[in-house]
Structure 1
Amino acid sequence: MNVTNAHQNIMFSVVIPVHNKSPHLERSINSVLNQTYKGFELILVDDASTDGSSEKLEEFQDENIRLFTRNTPGPGGYAARNLGIKEARSEWVAFLDADDAWELNYLENVCLAIKKEPTAEIFSTNWDNVYSSKVVKNNFFEKFEDLYVNFSLIDFFRENYFIWTSAVTIKRSLLIKSELFPENRCKRGGDVDTWIRCLQYSKKNIWINRTLAHYHKNTVNQVTDNATNPVKQICALATIEKIREDSNDKKLLNSIDFFLSKVVYHKMISDYRRDFKPSLKKTNIIHNLRMRSHLLTKYFIRVIFLEKRRN
Structure 2
Amino acid sequence: MTLTQARPGIDLVIPTYNRRAMLPAALDSVRAQTLPVSRIIVVDDGSTDGTVEWLRGLAARDDRLVLVENRHGGANRARNAGIAEARAQWVAFLDSDDAWEPEKLERQFALLADRPDLVALFCGFRLVGANVEMIHRPRDNPSLLDLRCANALGSTSGAVVRRDVLDKAGGFDPGLPSCQDWDLWFRLRRFGPMGVVRLPLVRFNCGPHERITTSMDKVLSGHRAIFANLLADVDRAGERARIAAQHKLVEADIKRRFGENTAAFGLVARSFLQAPSKRALAVAWRTARGIWRDRARREARAA
Q: CA deviation at 1:240?
A: 4.7
CA displacement at 1:216 relative to structure 2? 0.1
CA 16–105 in structure 1, closer or farther in 2 if over 3 Å, else same: same
Asked if 1:180 is matched to 2:178, the reply is no
Post-superposition offset of 1:258: 3.1
- The alignment-based identity, stated in percent, is 25
Change (3 A) 1:135 1:265: closer
Gaps of 5+ in 2: 279-303
1:153-302 alignment, distance < 5 Å: 153-183=144-174, 185-199=175-189, 201-226=190-215, 230-231=217-218, 234-235=221-222, 237=224, 240-248=227-235, 253-266=240-253, 273=260, 290=261, 298-302=268-272
Alpha-carbon contact 1:174-1:198 (below 8 Å) kept: yes
What is the TM-score normalised by the length of structure 1? 0.77
Instruction: State the Cα distance separating 1:215 from its structure 2 match.
Output: 0.7
Number of positions where the alignment pairs a residue of Structure 1 with one of Structure 2:
275
RMSD across aligned positions (CA):
2.9
Preserved contact between residue 157 and residue 256 of structure 1 (Cα < 8 Å):
yes
Residue 84 of structure 2 aligns with an amino acid whose one-letter code is: K
Cα offsets for 1:63-118 (capped at 9, x unmatched): 22111111x2113x011000011111112111110100100111111111122311
Instruction: Select which of 92, 100, 106 maps to 1:108.
Output: 106
Of structures 1 and 2, the one scoring higher in RCO (CA 8 A, sep 6+) is 1
Gaps of 5+ in 1: 274-289
Deviation at 1:219, TM superposition (A): 4.7
Q: Is the Cα–Cα contact under 8 Å of residues 26 and 97 in structure 2 kept in the other structure?
A: yes
Specify the SS of the correspondent of 2:221: coil
